[in-house]
A and B are shown apart, each in its own frame.
Chain A
Amino acid sequence: DQQVKQNSPSLSVQEGRISILNCDYTNSMFDYFLWYKKYPAEGPTFLISISSIKDKNEDGRFTVFLNKSAKHLSLHIVPSQPGDSAVYFCAASASAGANSKLTFGKGITLSVRP
């Protein structure tokens, strides 16, 4: 039973355009969400996060939007660059307690065409 879903396995965009990566979740207890980027042969790298008390968080070219009622979040990358080509994982957690843990989605492969 997948609690974090990234239904599109891949996305291809033109350099300079916006990339929008989507993520849905089913567990209403999730209150913190993170995006990780992973290049081949490397471990995941933390990108950006958002708490459920917010609906938007921005860091440079990266913005994460959270729609709690729809249990949906999205990562916007603008402008997209070829170096952004990677696998992007959405992750979620319930509570900030000592036993909280991350649940990951399957990932989306982003390809940015020059």
Chain B
Amino acid sequence: DTEVTQTPKHLVMGMTNKKSLKCEQHMGHRAMYWYKQKAKKPPELMFVYSYEKLSINESVPSRFSPECPNSSLLNLHLHALQPEDSALYLCASSFGQGAHQPQHFGDGTRLSIL
């Protein structure tokens, strides 16, 4: 029973499609994160938002566009993705941004690019 909710759970899209992944938390956390995880690999940080402002972008290609409309919501807009972008996309949140704050993860969106 996760307190970070991600939708959809699964997404299949073509390389020309535009879609969005959504993440929501109501724990009052002010830091939110997007990670990408490939099979048999650890989660890799993509973006960090702190107090609704982007604070870390790990040199992610522009075909991934994050958005934080308010302190409870985090979106990841996808456009013109490549087959190698197929992965599990995890959202996380924490009380503050410092890595000494344990992060709470959602169950992820399994993304497949055709």
Contact = CB atoms under 8 A, between A and B. Distances in A.
A45 interface: yes
- Majority DSSP secondary structure for residues of A touching B: loop
A43 B55 CA distance: 23
A97 B96 CA distance: 10
A106 B50 contact: no
Interface size class of A (residues with CB under 8 A): 20 to 34
A106 B42 contact: yes
B4 interface: yes
25 contacts: A32-B99, A36-B105, A42-B2, A43-B4, A43-B6, A43-B90, A43-B105, A43-B106, A43-B108, A46-B102, A46-B104, A49-B100, A95-B99, A96-B99, A96-B100, A98-B50, A98-B55, A98-B97, A98-B98, A99-B97, A100-B99, A101-B99, A102-B99, A104-B43, A105-B42
Interface residues of B, number: 26
Contacts of A49: 100, 102
Interface of B: 2, 4, 6, 40-45, 48, 50, 55-56, 90, 92, 97-100, 102-108
Contacts of B45: 101-102
A95 B41 CA distance: 24
B60 to A, nearest CB: 13
Contact of A97 (B98, B103, B107): B98
Given A43-B4, A43-B90, A102 B98 contact: no
A96 B98 contact: yes
Nearest to B104: A46
Interface in A63-114: 89, 93-102, 104-107
A43 to B, nearest CB: 3
A51 B50 CA distance: 23
Given A32-B100, A41-B107, 7 more contacts: A43-B92, A43-B107, A44-B90, A51-B100, A89-B42, A98-B50, A106-B42
